[in-house]
Amino acid sequence: MAQNSFTHHCRQEADTVALAQKLALSLDHLFRADPSVHLNISLEGDLGAGKTTFARHLIQGLGYEGRVKSPTYTLCEPYPLIIHGKTLAMNHFDLYRMRDPLEWQEAGFAEHFDEPGFCLVEWPEKAEGTLPTFDVEIHLIAGTDENERNITFQANSNQGMIIFEKMCI
Ligand code: ADP
Ligand code: MG
């Protein structure tokens, strides 16, 4: 796939789950090939669009077996990503409750944007452009039916394009 964006229509929650699992598989390939990689992925969309649901299945799709709760109050929840016996980091952010665009830096989270693994960020717009650039942007938009969603993926880097190619959509 040579395009840097595509939209997937999800008729029901299971379709969103399958899409998150495909992304997990693609990220797994990438980290196995190079465990020093760092990626930034954004999740955008209204409240209830399915950002946390997508994040949960992505994180669990990468082998985390515990509960993935919304980081609404903590701003960031870290999860281990085990690749070839080494621990990389999956950091799941929800910036909705930030009172200041730089609160994520004041809370000491900047270092997470360099470490091997990836950052997954809900509500990046609350940081008003102060975050590093995103390799992949994911937008979730509700459809007309209650369980329907249109999910758009956009790659902004070569790494993002490689991820899309491996997703086999
Ligand atoms: P957000 O993090 O965007 O505020 P959540 O993931 O917390 O949203 O909530 C999404 C809600 O919508 C969940 O209750 C989920 O079960 C429901 N839902 C229904 N259909 C879908 C779908 N196709 N994709 C994602 N979530 C869905
Ligand atoms: Mg959420």
Residue 40 forms part of a structural domain: yes
Residue 160 forms part of a structural domain: no
How many folded domains does the chain comprise?
1
- Asked if residues 163 and 66 have their Cβ atoms less than 8 Å apart, the reply is no
The pLDDT assigned to 24 comes to 98
Q: Whose CA is nearest to atom 26 of ligand 1?
A: 50
Residue ranges with CB less than 5 Å from ion ligand 2: 51-52, 70, 122
CATH of the domain at 96: 3.40.50.300
* Nearby residues of 45 by Cβ (< 8 Å), 6 or more positions away: 51, 139, 140, 141, 142
Residue type at 152 in one-letter notation = T
Pocket test for ligand 1, best of 13, 42, 58 (most atoms within 8 A of CB): 13
Q: How far apart are the first and last CA of the chain?
A: 9
* Nearby residues of 61 by Cβ (< 8 Å), 6 or more positions away: 20, 21, 23, 24, 25
From the number of C-beta atoms within 10 Å of its C-beta (0-12, 13-18, 19+), residue 85 rates as exposed
Strand partners, 95: none
Residue 141 forms part of a structural domain: yes
Strand partners, 150: 9, 141
The pLDDT assigned to 168 comes to 74
For residue 33, the CA-to-ligand 2 centroid distance in Å is 30
Residue 94 forms part of a structural domain: yes
68 lines ligand 1 (CB under 6 A): no
Residue 164 forms part of a structural domain: no
**Which residues constitute the domain of residue 90?**
5-154
Q: Whose CA is nearest to atom 24 of ligand 1?
A: 13
The pLDDT assigned to 169 comes to 74
Residue 159 forms part of a structural domain: no
Residue 96 forms part of a structural domain: yes
47 lines ligand 1 (CB under 6 A): yes
The pLDDT assigned to 2 comes to 64
Residue 163 forms part of a structural domain: no
- Per-residue pLDDT in tens (0 to 9) along the chain, 169 residues: 568 999 999 999 999 999 999 999 999 999 999 999 999 999 999 999 999 999 999 999 999 999 999 999 999 999 999 999 999 999 999 999 999 999 999 999 999 999 999 999 999 999 999 999 999 999 999 999 999 999 999 999 999 999 999 997 7
